Amino acid sequence: MGFSALVASALCTFLLPLLLFLAAVKLWDLYCVSSRDPSCPLPLPPGTMGLPFFGETLQMVLQRRKFLQMKRRKYGFIYKTHLFGRPTVRVMGAENVRHILLGEHRLVSVQWPASVRTILGSGCLSNLHNGQHKHRKKVIMRAFSRDALQHYVPVIQEEVSACLARWLGAAGPCLLVYPEVKRLMFRIAMRILLGFQPRQASPDGEQQLVEAFEEMIRNLFSLPIDVPFSGLYRGLRARNIIHAKIEENIRAKMARKEPEGGYKDALQLLMEHTQGNGEQLNMQGLLCSPNQEKQLDMEVLEQLKYTGCVIKETLRLSPPVPGGFRIALKTLELNGYQIPKGWNVIYSICDTHDVADLFTNKDEFNPDRFMSPSPEDSSRFSFIPFGGGLRSCVGKEFAKVLLKIFTVELARSCDWQLLNGPPTMKTGPIVYPVDNLPTKFIGFSGQI
């Protein structure tokens, strides 16, 4: 082969793919620019759109908080990007978030990534719209009323107390608390929300459900490609395991006339309502300082003002989910920029907490900051651990009750020491400690 042939071969092998890649990047840039609404005089927010098709999804998934912090420092409180196959604007700050959350059904509508919609299902509360969402939320809220929560308190207290006794009796110098807490919270949720009794599941069966739930959550945000070993495939398989167990429990409940355990769990309340109104029960819809020696109840818990402040401060620093997804129903204007119709909008909870002017010394853990009343109007969107507006978390009061009971029982049962000091937290997609929280527990009798 002659020299000219070698050069031609090299050009075809290396130069042509490079030129095609550069052309694809240029076309991608032109597409991103042309997708702005020409009828709106405002510019698109600053930012970058990443690689063709993939956008900046891979960087966000791999780097998480580091990637988002870099974007915030470079572009401010509103910037454009391309995530999960869609052009996206990420929004933070109390005033900007207020505009988005209060614009539900008028400016924006909920739209989670395709993988989330597929795994959770179209009938899940978070995927419903307008009248369907309003009706379903009203039904589900019956299971989280104050009267319902009152019935749940003794069950939660029983589970937490038994768990702490196991921790104190565990052999070894330390316990990995994070996986233990996940198991405890899952067990409480299964009893309270779905009526599973402790005798109904073996330790192996319970662990299988815990692992299935973790697998489902881990793969919620994945590429929408359902092939073996893909994230979506694993998430769907885990969801099916959970659905099968719930359906088995529903059939058992429908065969009984009286609830077990002396209280009505959330599933029982929802079944009674749907049956009384001739509605069909949908699996995807369901998935989704006083004397401390007193028996806990709602009245006692409501008096624990400072405990509530400790929980709020924890949620401020480490909100359980990083944000929420919306889609622009029409081109809207926000803080001098346009968000074109059809673009995704992500409102950031963690960044909004970080930048809130309402909080001083933001990195300091200081529950006292919540002892004084917060300013009304837009400043209330400076603290949004459970979202806000029409789609605020339906189970937020249940979560607060559970966290208060856990805190009270922990404080009056034992002392503890985090062996690695304050934990480093990561998000994937929920917040978690990277070291699993190795902890030494000491009973007040002095016994480890």
Residue 120 lies in a domain: no
Categorize the per-residue pLDDT at 186 as very low, low, confident or very high, splitting at 50, 70 and 90. confident
Burial of 74 (0-12, 13-18, 19+ CB in 10 A): exposed
Distance CA 91, CA 95 (A): 10
Amino acid present at 33: V
Residues 70 and 198 in one domain: no
pLDDT tens track for 226-238: 888 888 899 999 9
Range of the domain at 209: 125-443
Which of the given ranges, 59-63, 122-126, 311-315, has the highest pLDDT on average?
311-315
pLDDT at 286 over 50: no
Residues 163 and 300 in one domain: yes
Residue 348 is inside which H or E element, if any? Answer: strand 344-348
For the record, the structure tokens of 204 come out as 């192996």
For the record, the structure tokens of 181 come out as 């807490």
- pTM above 0.85? no
What is the mean predicted confidence (pLDDT) over 60-70? 83
pLDDT value of residue 116: 86
Distance CA 327, CA 122 (A): 16
- The tokens 């490079």 sit on which residue? 18
Categorize the per-residue pLDDT at 196 as very low, low, confident or very high, splitting at 50, 70 and 90. confident
Residue 401 lies in a domain: yes
Which region, left, alpha or beta, applies to residue 163 given φ > 0 means left and ψ of -120 to 50 means alpha?
Answer: alpha
Q: What long-range pairs does 372-380 form, CB within 8 A, spacing at least 24? A: 378/94, 378/95, 378/98, 379/94, 380/94
What is the mean predicted confidence (pLDDT) over 315-331? 91
Q: How many residues does the chain have?
A: 448
Q: How far is the CA of 440 from the CAs of 314, 339, 348, in angstroms?
A: 21, 50, 35
Higher pLDDT, 52 or 30: 52
Residue 96 lies in a domain: no
Residues 384 and 238 in one domain: yes
Residue 167 lies in a domain: yes
Categorize the per-residue pLDDT at 259 as very low, low, confident or very high, splitting at 50, 70 and 90. low
Higher pLDDT, 296 or 328: 328
Residues 311 and 396 in one domain: yes
For 351, residues 6+ apart whose C-beta sits below 8 A from its C-beta are 68, 72, 77, 92, 93, 323
pLDDT value of residue 153: 94
Contact between residue 237 and residue 277 where contact means Cβ atoms under 8 Å apart: no
Residue 207 lies in a domain: yes
What is the mean predicted confidence (pLDDT) over 184-208? 77
DSSP 219: T
Count CA within 13 A, CB hemisphere, residue 46.
Answer: 7
Residues 53 and 152 in one domain: no
Give the mean pLDDT of the chain. 82
pLDDT value of residue 285: 43
Q: Where are the alpha helices (DSSP H) in 256-378?
A: 266-276, 283-286, 298-302, 305-317, 349-355
Higher pLDDT, 113 or 22: 113
pLDDT value of residue 338: 96
pLDDT tens track for 201-247: 666 777 888 888 888 888 888 877 888 888 889 999 998 988 888 77
Q: What angle do CA 289, 315, 77 make, to 5 degrees?
A: 145
Contact between residue 330 and residue 40 where contact means Cβ atoms under 8 Å apart: no
Residue 94 lies in a domain: no
Cα dihedral sign, 377-378-380-381 = positive
Higher pLDDT, 345 or 9: 345
Query: How many domains is the chain built from?
Result: 2
Contact between residue 437 and residue 418 where contact means Cβ atoms under 8 Å apart: yes
Contact between residue 438 and residue 179 where contact means Cβ atoms under 8 Å apart: no
